[in-house]
Structure 1
């Protein structure tokens, strides 16, 4: 008699079926997300055959949300967050208000009460963390201006939803449901004399403020200190474990002790770690788990969907879908434009928010439990989430295509032409002018390897430009007289900004062979004569990079072995000062040039 293994069964069924469905989707030129959602429908309770454990799938998906937000925090800083507060705070609140009003009108048209409509509208107003971040990361937009606005907008929405989940139970009676005030201490309410609702608001605000203060004051010192201590043990296994322990531990602790969401706690954990030199290594260590559990999120959404709803209530589903994808995104577009941002940024934000996800499910389940929403509301939310997630990659593709046409049209317009189109509205720091360098070397990555390459080229008097995603490191390079771009190399327009067409050499000094292959392919496509040098850790990686067009690949282990053998055979082997010894892969260079 086999043991009951629902966790293993859910993991195996979810990942294996998502893999197969994702391959089929890719074969038909559809977004892989479509395959993941279909996999969830197949193993869900509304289709025949194997049924995975829905509760376990949801918890596994929550791990993906935690790791995603932790990874975003690693590439974010408090300065980035504060820099977009002027648009993120009013924008998120305004967009939530518009979506809530339209959700209310839709609910009233279906014969629901105003209280039900209010909660239904709120559940339509908040975007999915996973969908938004996956879209930004696939396009390497997290560290661009539009990415910072989208993430800041997401954080504000997260805080609003945390407050909503706290206030809804005591307000349920006023809205026509069953009030619950168990979470509010009656003695505290009587002592303050301000009522249960305002007591709940005050307690929530204090908890969130205490958590943020703790992370910014204590976390900024303790978390990097822990990682640096573990890094000096030289154990990659312990380092990887420490990163996961920090991400999951802070997320869980913040939810239990301070009442904030897992996602918000993980984001702040990553943000305070971003100032450490080990932040990039930490991001790489969480990447495989992050991707795997993020896939389970889409599978879990598919499991909630009942295909019979398409037959039983098609008009209600269509109206919900239109509200999510068109009304909400149109509101976001108009708000961003009203603040003076260009069309490309406004469209990117609108596409980012044209979907719903995890918070919507939590809110609608709570609403049904408080007798605020009819059971059919959950079916509409699930259908709206599934179809909005499905079309979201298509919206981004349309935005990318339209943005490229805008850039091309702007580049072709002569200055001073009477019939010229309006000048591009992109701010200077979003679409900078290309470098004036020609016949230069472009070095991607300023880690231990990239730094030494740049030093040698600069000392030889050769023109060099560095592409380094850590903005602080890029700024320090510029101050030292070396041109640098502080964005991910795969971001839209970054290689063009580096004048890839006029460059003589292209060096990928990053350790990620998968990302390097994509960059090499783009560089070779833009400049067929460029000489491309890449690093690899194995012969398999070298073969992979050579297929994409690299001229010369340096395999680290072979080069080290050859150098050691040359020293021995020449009789010049001698002790190496400790400061020049190999430091292990976990040590990263200082975020400033030497």
Structure 2
């Protein structure tokens, strides 16, 4: 009974206080998660008054991470992951290396052991997937190409951290810690076994899971029971995550992510995402509360300069490295800034690694306190960084010739080939985005023999489209140079099929500046945003739910109307 009461107290105090402080933060025009973090600090063991059970809160938060990653998997297909592999894989590895060097260098300067410095640097190098997803969802960027780059980047980081967590115990003795147990396997053998386990898990999920789990979901759907459907979705997320950790040594979060990816093959994936949304939101709040409970405010007073240095590595060091890497891969400045803001925080994997490092005698006690302080501050200010992307990009473009050069770099994919047919370059449609919506629009235009030019930020996709003989230009359509290359001045219609809600206004303004008579058609996922866009622009705005409702209503009226 005491344990169950502790569970109820923790959930009631955590959610109740998070609601109050989250509401106050929102009224003060601050991110609601700042209130959630403060709620955790208040009910944590380092502040007077009621103290919640930190171990229970941490377990509840782990469930939230699993459900959230499952939801991401439902929206993130294997094709999406492969589409960004050329930037996400090398980018994540190099960025982690840079951040590890920066954090490890700080720790070494403070006099820590090499092992402690390594663990500290690695903990600073990996960002929180939970924080990233909440930020991308709130901005409507989760389904955009930039959002897929950021999510793919963090998936690579998570895979790398799985290897780190497995290899650290046998390497602890060499690094100055307590060392591996007697008779432990050599490092190379442990690494090989880990790679086999992770590879086996991914193969099993993608080969077997893509057929089995959608079939199970279909069988449950046939019963007509909503609660069974919801139970199937939640059970799949949690049980697959647990099995992946128990059998393959993969993290709960990564297991749940791949579970969502294979469930996406089902035609009911959108319904599964909607059914699990309330649980995901509630447990995600508990995650932020649990982070706040681990924070000891005294570290801000006792070690203020060290805290500032840690926050500097997380917010500035990682961001600059990520921005430089994305620009080196010749992606637009806006994409580079968005990815940089996405990575300017640390979270769940950092806490797990810090706990393991402390248990192995590698990370000193102050290391955990500094990591938690850095996590709390970086998570709190991360949403504010996203709000600065637009103004910063505009300011750099106006005042910096270097930034303007980045937007107009000499790149063959940024210009239409000279051999492009003349019919594409007069009274054509400029189609921004070639995702799930853009492909269908392109097919309809082609079926009616209407010429169009695709503007797309995915370099690999532009190469593929050109190989198929389609007119396509690479770059961010918010930049005038990209629309100019798409011959917007002679176009008839601008169609924005991308989910990027941040730059759509800039696209419309630029298009009307270059072609005052052009018609614009855009999409929106948010009713309030759609209303604002309709008021602020002359564009025709399509809201997904509204269009679906109208089509279904017309079908129902047509079938229900009495015969003439």
TM-score (norm 1): 0.75
Within the alignment, does 1:49 sit opposite 2:49 as a pair? Answer: yes
- Give the C-alpha shift of residue 402 in structure 1: 2.6
Within the alignment, does 1:86 sit opposite 2:97 as a pair? Answer: no
Return the alpha-carbon distance in structure 2 between the equivalents of residues 88 and 117 of structure 1.
26
Which residue of the partner structure matches residue 407 of structure 2? 424
Gaps of 5+ in 2: 417-423, 453-494
Q: Which residues of 2 match residues 308-327 of structure 1 at below 5 A?
A: 308-327=298-317
Within the alignment, does 1:243 sit opposite 2:233 as a pair? Answer: yes
Give CA-to-partner distance per residue, 1:129-160, whole Å, 9 cap, x none. 11111111211222222212111111111111
Which residue of the partner structure matches residue 29 of structure 1? 29
Return the alpha-carbon distance in structure 1 between the equivalents of residues 85 and 126 of structure 2.
18
Three-state SS of the structure 2 residue aligned to 1:260 is coil
Within the alignment, does 1:179 sit opposite 2:217 as a pair? Answer: no
Which residue of the partner structure matches residue 541 of structure 1? none
- Give the C-alpha shift of residue 468 in structure 1: 8.4
**Taking structure 1 as reference, are residues 486 and 259 closer, same or farther at Cα in structure 2, changes over 3 Å only?**
farther
- Give the C-alpha shift of residue 235 in structure 1: 2.3
- Give the C-alpha shift of residue 375 in structure 1: 0.9
**Taking structure 1 as reference, are residues 109 and 486 closer, same or farther at Cα in structure 2, changes over 3 Å only?**
same
- Indicate which of 186, 189, 193 corresponds to 1:196: 186
Return the alpha-carbon distance in structure 2 between the equivalents of residues 7 and 429 of structure 1.
57
Which residue of the partner structure matches residue 268 of structure 1? 258
- Indicate which of 340, 344, 348 corresponds to 2:330: 340
Maintained 8 Å contact 1:115/1:372: yes
**Taking structure 1 as reference, are residues 112 and 466 closer, same or farther at Cα in structure 2, changes over 3 Å only?**
closer
The number of aligned residues is: 505
- Give the C-alpha shift of residue 247 in structure 1: 1.5
**Taking structure 1 as reference, are residues 171 and 477 closer, same or farther at Cα in structure 2, changes over 3 Å only?**
farther
Give CA-to-partner distance per residue, 1:491-514, whole Å, 9 cap, x none. 642895699997699998x8xxxx
- Indicate which of 281, 291, 295 corresponds to 2:271: 281
Which residue of the partner structure matches residue 518 of structure 1? 529
Return the alpha-carbon distance in structure 2 between the equivalents of residues 46 and 13 of structure 1.
16
- Indicate which of 355, 365, 384 corresponds to 2:374: 384
- Give the C-alpha shift of residue 316 in structure 1: 1.3
Three-state SS of the structure 2 residue aligned to 1:180 is coil
**Taking structure 1 as reference, are residues 420 and 377 closer, same or farther at Cα in structure 2, changes over 3 Å only?**
closer
Maintained 8 Å contact 1:115/1:175: yes
Give CA-to-partner distance per residue, 1:77-122, whole Å, 9 cap, x none. 2222122222212111111111111112111221111221111111
- Give the C-alpha shift of residue 11 in structure 1: 1.4
Maintained 8 Å contact 1:324/1:388: yes
Give CA-to-partner distance per residue, 1:306-350, whole Å, 9 cap, x none. 111111111111111111111121111112222222211111111
Return the alpha-carbon distance in structure 1 between the equivalents of residues 205 and 257 of structure 2.
11
Structure number with higher helix proportion: 2
Maintained 8 Å contact 1:123/1:360: yes
Which residue of the partner structure matches residue 5 of structure 2? 5
Maintained 8 Å contact 2:496/2:521: no
Maintained 8 Å contact 1:341/1:425: no
Maintained 8 Å contact 1:533/1:554: no
Which residue of the partner structure matches residue 166 of structure 1? 166
Maintained 8 Å contact 2:101/2:121: yes
**Taking structure 1 as reference, are residues 176 and 428 closer, same or farther at Cα in structure 2, changes over 3 Å only?**
same
Maintained 8 Å contact 2:496/2:523: no
- Give the C-alpha shift of residue 208 in structure 1: 0.3
- Give the C-alpha shift of residue 234 in structure 1: 2.4
- Give the C-alpha shift of residue 534 in structure 1: 9.0
Return the alpha-carbon distance in structure 1 between the equivalents of residues 56 and 403 of structure 2.
58
Within the alignment, does 1:355 sit opposite 2:345 as a pair? Answer: yes
Three-state SS of the structure 2 residue aligned to 1:5 is helix
Return the alpha-carbon distance in structure 2 between the equivalents of residues 94 and 504 of structure 1.
40
Which residue of the partner structure matches residue 107 of structure 1? 107
Which residue of the partner structure matches residue 367 of structure 1? 357
TM-score (norm 2): 0.79
Which residue of the partner structure matches residue 395 of structure 1? 385
